[in-house]
Chains A and B, each alone.
Chain A
Amino acid sequence: MENFRLNYTFTYTEIEEYRPLAERTILPAREREIETIFSMGNGYIGTRNSLEESYPESDPGSFIAGMYVQGPGDDFNFLVRTPDWTAIKIYIGDDFLNLRDGNTLDHMRYIDFQNGTVVREWKSEDEEGRITSIKIIKYISLAEKHELGKLLIVKPENYSETINVITGIDCNTSDFKYLLNQNSEINDFASIFMKVKYTDKNFAIIQKSEFVSHCKGEIKKTDYNYSVDNLFNGSFEKYQWQGEIGNTYLVKTVGCVYTGNNSDDPPGNALSCYEKYKDNFFDRSFINHRNKWRERLEESRIKITDNNYDQKLVDFAFYHLITAGEFSGNHYSIPARNLSGESYKGHVFWDVEMYLLPFYTYTKPEIARNLIMYRYNTLDGAKKNAVKEGYKGACFAWESTDTGLEAAPEMTILPNGEVVMIFSGKYENHISSDIAYTIWKYRQATCDDEFLTDYGAEILFETARFCTSLLTRKDDGLYHIDEVIGPDEYHECVDDNAYTNYLVKNNFDVAVKTYNLMNSEYPEKLAKLKEKINLEDNEVEDWQEFTANIYPGYDPETKLYEQFRGYYDLECINLEEYEPRSVPMDVILGRVKTGETQVIKQADVLMFMMLFGERFSKEQLRANYEFYEEKCGHGSSLSPGIHSLMAARAKKTEEAYNYFLQNARIDIGDAFGNAAGGIHIASLGGVWMSVVLGFAGMYPVDKGLIFDPELPGQWNKIEFPLKWRGQDIKVVLDHREIKFFISGDKDIYLSVGFDNWKKISPGIEHIAVRNDQKWEWKERIYERKSAAAS
């Protein structure tokens, strides 16, 4: 269907190259996977992209961040599935238009990257020979937290007939075990008001549509009948008109979602959204969304020259990263599968800190701040977790929800019938130090001392206290941490996990640094905080002592870190002997046997070497990469992204590129059979990490940004924007040259290669050229107006 006018002044345009993905097949078996891949969201609302008329194989659902429920029989709370606002049914005469009856002449679904929408185009010929073109465009607004939109365009191609459209909010998809429909009615609106059983949570979803008809590109008045049906299973607007051959009919809908979490009157607040726009509300809502989308794209997008396929992969990642983050944070965070599916029950893991925060911190730090604020707002829960386990301070939940209380189950049944205990909630303690790490990295990238002193410091001090509880001083005079689980969850309850020890050490270190900073620059705030949390000076002195004396597990001769004490004694398995395989190694070997081998689930030593990359020499990096990479079974979807990054840093560029592809395709390929339950949002964060922190070789350090790049042979040039200490940086990189365009008001320091620092001023283009593997800053420096102008 051609571009079309929404009203007299605005035309919805699409450009083919802005379709990162297009799905033409309709295969019932893959339907739930497609719903995930094309899902929509804005961090507050998330919706699966189901076929609007719904089929038995469809699994439509919307999720509202923070809408966690827990029934009397549930061990933990989880994110409840709410009604589906995307429902649309079209009738030509009395005949229901659907993919089962008649002949589908064309069908395509795609992400429109230019407008930040998802689009479905469908041309259908029914049994009477009537051909109808349909286009449906949907979005969840990035400009207005509570808004969403859907646009239906119907064109009778070769007939004139009565057309009926039912568009509304379908409650059949919602979980009535936990939700009560309050059956609210609002004149001329489709409206649903639901209350959560067992709690006082509630939410409202309302929608209002406009009808427009076009004849030969001009808006034409067409008479239509309109009514609203409020039923127990949903609320629907109904349109009926006489469709005429060749004319185009638009039903433009804006929906609004409010919860009792942020409103005393959810339906009333939802209604105010329309009052704000008065008329043409869809057009205005859509344009606001589109503009915000383009702005976010400008702030974030990585462009890869001359490689369309890889560009599509990164664009796919950006679509979900941008839409996941916009309104997330503060009282909720980004669940493991985003708001795109019910797998993982909407629980929040370390994925946010380790795999998503890098993207937000260096492209949109406000979002990073909000996501860290979620941890601050669940600090009480973390303190309760610590008390429950007999620890001091704050122990953040391995699986977190709105309360911050631990929500990881203690056991599960595997598909082979085996009952296994789940220890991650109890022993995967590094999550608290992971959070501490990101607070310091956020502050490093933003100089946001207000955040650090008002919120971050309290987390750092409480997590340092928690870490103190983990330590045992042993005969060697060093502090050890026994019985933990590191990122490699194949080995449970191990002693001196190198990752945990390193992160705990860092936790103490940044807590002391923060204390000293506040002591010298913000003494009043420090005094208040000390009083609030009863912090004693001797605790801080202890932290300093611990920092210097935690068991490192490092052997200077081999340059290897032992993943945990006793790891080298385990059976060595040659993973190549099991290839090709389609199952995780612990399924092949069994969980117990796997734990007795050196096979690891994901990067563990390599993970902390990634986080603190600037502290390790190339020799250390290569030694550990080569040792652990061949032992990694990649049993976690988080694994390939980090291996791509680390291989790139180790200058194993081809290997890094292969891991990049493996990671970027996790959902798109569905080669691994679990996209249906929701997007692997952390893996998509890993796409950004492997390009910027891996191939572009960026190391953020206290002084500034280090770049040690090595592009894969498949790419000629990449460019990407960054935010660093309030300055906008545009980086353009090819195989021999790197250019920086900086706009802002402050000088920053950049190093190309290590110890090759240069003070960079805004408004000037700086170039470094590779000369025989060494990077040299070129003298040719000329002024540019701004990064944006480039």
Chain B
Amino acid sequence: MKGKVLLPLDASEASLRAFIPAKSIVELLDMNLIILHISDEELCQEELFKKLNISKEDLKCFVARQKTGLPEKVILEEAKGCNYIVMASHGKTCDETRRMGSTAAAVVEKTDVPVLLVKPGVNLHIENGKWLPHKTLIPLNGTPGSAESLAPAMEILSKTHSEINILHICVSKEEKETKEGEYSAPYYEDYPQYEWTSWSKEFIKRFCPTMKNHFKVNVSLSHGDPAQEILNFSLQNNNDFIAVVWHGTMEHLRAKTLKRLLYECSCPLLLIKLKK
């Protein structure tokens, strides 16, 4: 059975930013696109597409669904059985002073399906009508769990020629809970000419085994505040796609890095919840 990509659209210009990325992922992975519109209006297919401002001719395998109800509830229900949700961070009310609209925030937090979040002002690298990441940034904390959770990102990237920049950020002055198989920067750096080559190879083998033969994978190391390091790195390296594994709760004092990325990041973010 083909996989499914859910694309919620509320007919706003902001929400429409997610259309091309969703369509592109569907084509890359040979999946079905589920276009979901939630409103009380009763629209025929023609009217729906007109309202959403998309053209049926641009799409191959798709299902267009109209539902009524509380948007976040409907989206979460429809997302069951989907492989990805691709949605805009903001909708009709588009208040860019907030990191996400309320619907996106609720979906991101409550679903276990990976969410590709497209902010209104982000740069989308589009060629021949297709969004294809060229330089992907994957921050990795060196735990097997987060690496394993990255599978959905790898699935997309394996179909592209994107350069993959893996960024490991070391944090000092913080007691970390260590997990078996965890791998961080070497405490000992006997000789940089060998230590870092060896470390990078092992990092890729350990956490991105499916990528070890990808033609352009590199590992970088930085030290400091994770959000700041990710933002700096993505700016310096012109990353046009970032995949992030997170713990799944936006409660007060949690997900500090992700919250800041949602405010400041200038490219689409794929948010993947850590596998439990």
Q: Which residues of A contact B (CB under 8 A)?
A: 25, 27-30, 32, 56-57, 59, 336, 343-345, 408-409, 412-417, 420, 422, 424, 578-584, 586-588, 634-639, 666, 671-674, 676-677
Contacts and interface: CB of A to CB of B under 8 A. Distances in A.
Q: Is the interface of A mostly helix, strand, loop or mixed?
A: loop
A672 B173 contact: no
A29 B203 CA distance: 9
Interface of B: 142, 144, 147, 168, 170-176, 178, 180-181, 183-202, 205-207, 209, 219-223
A288 B111 CA distance: 63
Given A343-B194, A671-B187, A674-B198, A29 B173 contact: no
B234 to A, nearest CB: 14
Contacts of B200: 415
A255 to B, nearest CB: 27
A638 B175 CA distance: 24
A336 B194 CA distance: 11
B196 to A, nearest CB: 5
Q: A345, A413, A581 — which one has the most chain B CB atoms within 10 A of its CB?
A: A581
Contact of A578 (B173, B185, B189, B191): B173
A582 B176 contact: yes
A702 B173 CA distance: 48
Contacts of B220: 415-417
Contacts of B181: 27, 29-30
Nearest to B183: A673
A450 B111 CA distance: 78
A415 B198 CA distance: 11
Given A636-B188, A673-B142, 10 more contacts: A29-B181, A30-B180, A30-B181, A343-B198, A345-B194, A587-B223, A635-B188, A673-B184, A673-B199, A674-B198
Contacts of B170: 581-583, 587-588
24 contacts: A25-B180, A29-B147, A414-B192, A415-B168, A416-B220, A422-B193, A580-B173, A581-B170, A581-B173, A583-B172, A584-B186, A584-B189, A587-B223, A634-B188, A637-B188, A666-B188, A671-B178, A673-B185, A673-B202, A674-B188, A676-B198, A676-B206, A677-B194, A677-B201
A580 B192 contact: no
Given A29-B147, A582-B176, A673-B183, A637 B199 contact: no
Contacts of A414: 192, 196, 221
Nearest to B176: A582
Contacts of B199: 415, 673-674
A637 B190 CA distance: 6
Nearest to B222: A416
A32 B207 CA distance: 12
Contacts of A417: 220
Contacts, number: 134
A579 B187 CA distance: 12
Contacts of B183: 29, 673
Contacts of A587: 170, 185, 189, 221, 223
Contacts of B191: 344, 422, 424
A501 to B, nearest CB: 23
Contacts of B180: 25, 27, 30
Contacts of B209: 28, 56-57
Contact of B219 (A30, A415, A674): A415
B273 to A, nearest CB: 20
A581 to B, nearest CB: 4
B192 A420 contact: yes
A366 B175 CA distance: 47
B189 A32 contact: no
B198 to A, nearest CB: 4
The 10 A-B residue pairs with the shortest CB-CB distance in the complex, in nearest-first order: A29-B181, A581-B172, A415-B221, A412-B193, A677-B198, A637-B188, A672-B187, A343-B198, A583-B170, A584-B189
Contact of A584 (B176, B188, B219): B188
